[in-house]
């Protein structure tokens, strides 16, 4: 009979490899909570928020060019947080508004000081890194802030020419629109409260959710 004793030495390493593969599968394929009604709220909230920004641009700015100055990609990322992860610390009003504004300021400053045509990679990379650093120090971390800073450096010429006006419009105005929609819309659902607080949500009425300064933690 063939001697398989030598193969036993590979048993432990193989078991470790199998356990490692199982852990990777759990991480890679782990699903988020699936609640059809809550998913519908996320869909409607994101649609209303982005549509509101687009309508403001259409009726008040009357831009005839293709570049949508009032609608930037970072607002899509903010919508994901505000309407599908509204209980996340990264989605709270303080983080959303101040994280976005600080990142915009950092982005514009970085472009003005460090942009060089012979080293076009420098200011985009530096703007994102500095924006993260500033948000961390001010405790206003909002992931779309990285995109906001980056757009100030790699956006169209129209965006770059805006200078510090970019901080006010589209960033401040756009984020305010999203926050107002999030405050009004998220609190309609019985399963949500925004800004998030660790309280019994179902016992709260709509206006009690909005006026959180009347609620004791």
* Residue pair 128/145 in contact by the 8 Å Cβ criterion: no
Q: Which pLDDT score, from 0 to 100, does residue 14 have?
A: 64
Which helix (H) or strand (E) segment is 139 a member of? none
Q: 168-194: per-residue pLDDT in tens? A: 989 999 999 999 999 999 988 888 889
The larger pLDDT score, comparing residue 201 to residue 152, is at 152
Q: Rounded to an integer, what distance in angstroms lies between the CA atom of residue 95 and that of residue 99?
A: 5
* Cβ–Cβ < 8 Å for 52, 173: no
pLDDT at 92 over 80: yes
Residue 134's pLDDT is: 98
- Residues 198, 89 contacting (CB under 8 angstroms): no
Instruction: Return the HEC string of 153-168.
Output: HHCCHHHHHCCCHHHH
Domain boundaries, the chain: 36-214
Mean pLDDT of 98-107: 98
């Amino acid at each position: 009979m063939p001697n398989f004793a030598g193969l036993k030495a590979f048993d432990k390493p193989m078991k470790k490899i199998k356990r490692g593969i199982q852990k990777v599968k759990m991480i890679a394929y782990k699903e988020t909570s699936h609640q059809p009604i809550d998913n519908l709220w996320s869909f409607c909230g994101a649609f209303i928020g982005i549509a509101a920004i687009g309508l403001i641009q259409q009726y008040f700015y009357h831009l005839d060019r293709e570049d949508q100055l009032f609608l930037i990609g970072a607002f899509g990322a903010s919508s994901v947080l505000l309407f599908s992860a509204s209980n996340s610390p990264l989605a709270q009003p303080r983080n959303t508004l101040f994280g976005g504004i600080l990142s915009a300021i950092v982005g514009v400053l970085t472009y003005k000081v460090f942009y060089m045509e012979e080293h076009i990679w420098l200011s985009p990379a530096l703007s994102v890194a500095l924006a993260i650093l500033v948000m961390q120090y001010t405790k206003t971390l909002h992931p779309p802030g990285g995109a906001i800073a980056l757009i100030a450096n790699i956006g169209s010429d129209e965006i770059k020419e805006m200078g510090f006006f970019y901080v006010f419009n589209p960033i401040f105005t756009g984020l305010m629109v999203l926050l107002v929609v999030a405050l009004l819309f998220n609190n309609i659902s019985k399963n949500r409260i925004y800004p998030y607080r660790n309280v019994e949500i179902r016992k709260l009425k709509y206006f009690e959710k909005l006026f959180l300064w009347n609620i004791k933690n």
